Amino acid sequence: EIVMTQSPATLSVSPGDRATLSCRASQSVSINLAWYHQKPGQAPRLLIYGASTRATGIPARFSGSRSGTEFTLTISSLQSEDFGVYYCQQYNNWPPLFGEGTKVEIK
Amino acid sequence: QVQLQESGPGLVKPSQTLSLTCTVSGGSISSGSYYWNWIRQPAGKGLQWIGRISTSGSTTYNPSLKSQVTISIDTSKNQFSLRLSSVTAADTAVYYCAREWGPADYWGQGTLVTVSS
């Protein structure tokens, strides 16, 4: 099965700053990569699919990119509602495994 | 706007069967090329995909749970269900249902199921 490795495990960011999260797949997943944001006590919310397409209603400050098996989620100017845990997930192969998450916390 | 809602017992005894139902509203479960999924999350941990079912009833399960899992669909009630047999404390988690077409775009709020005697 494909292993998804996210880094860093924790990211401390000040509101208004840029945040860059990474996700690496153990083998090719093409562009079949999604990013989700989860706040405590809530279900994950789809942010990005197809490595770089924003889901409906997602602000433009969220962007995704791909370089081979390396994927990046960038939040251009972090807002208070953006804190929480971010997961990447490949859906190229079954089972569609998630990474272990990056926790974005207030600096 | 599609909405999903999980329901079922919040407490299950070890070795028994966990049963949950997901009710879909705001659209027909039979429309579109979607899969209907179950995903779980132990407290403080990451997300684990359990399995999915298509509107035609075709199922795919996580190999690590395959021997325990049965997912079914009732299109007349706009519902799909999860049965997880022979549960242990390791199956204690928040269980989510979700609509998926690759990525999962609509999720239920989640329901906590605790396995304890």
In contact, A107 and A12? CB cutoff 8 Å:
yes
pLDDT value for A94: 86
pLDDT value for B32: 84
A13 touches chain B (CB under 8 A): no
pLDDT value for A107: 86
pLDDT value for A4: 96
Inform me whether the pLDDT recorded for A85 exceeds 90. Answer: yes
Chain B residue numbers with beta carbons less than 8 Å from the beta carbon of A99 are: 46
Whole-number Cα distances in Å, A55 to B82, B103, B104: 27, 10, 11
Could B102 and A94 be called an inter-chain contact, meaning their C-beta atoms sit closer than 8 Å? Answer: no
As a whole number of Å, the end-to-end CA separation of chain A is 36
Q: Give B7-64 pLDDT, tens digit per residue.
A: 999 999 999 999 999 999 999 999 888 999 999 999 999 999 999 999 999 999 999 9
The token duo for A92 is 């190229």
pLDDT value for B98: 98
Whole-number Cα distances in Å, B20 to A5, A43, A58, B52, B78: 31, 17, 30, 14, 14
Q: Which residue in the set B62, B102, B109 is minimally distant from A91, CB to CB?
A: B102
Whole-number Cα distances in Å, B68 to B27, B50, B71, B85: 30, 10, 10, 5
Residue A81, phi then psi, degrees to nearest 5: -75, -5
Q: What percent of chain B has pLDDT over 90?
A: 96
Region B98-108: mean pLDDT is 96
Q: Give A7-43 pLDDT, tens digit per residue.
A: 999 999 999 999 999 999 999 999 999 999 999 999 9
Best A91, A92, A103 member to test B by mutation, with max B CBs in 10 Å, is: A91
Q: Give A39-80 pLDDT, tens digit per residue.
A: 999 999 999 999 999 999 999 999 999 999 999 999 999 999
B60 touches chain A (CB under 8 A): yes
The token duo for B82 is 């999860």
Give the span between the Cα atoms of B70 and B61, in whole angstroms.
8
pLDDT value for A95: 87
A97 touches chain B (CB under 8 A): yes
In contact, A71 and A88? CB cutoff 8 Å:
yes
Sequence-distant (≥ 6) Cβ neighbours of residue B45 within 8 angstroms: none
Q: What percent of chain A has pLDDT over 70?
A: 100
Region B69-78: mean pLDDT is 96
Identify which of A82, A38, A41 has the alpha carbon closest to the alpha carbon of residue A59: A82
Best A98, A100, A102 member to test B by mutation, with max B CBs in 10 Å, is: A98
Give the span between the Cα atoms of B38 and A18, in whole angstroms.
34
pLDDT value for B94: 98
A98 touches chain B (CB under 8 A): yes
Region A79-96: mean pLDDT is 95
Region B103-109: mean pLDDT is 97
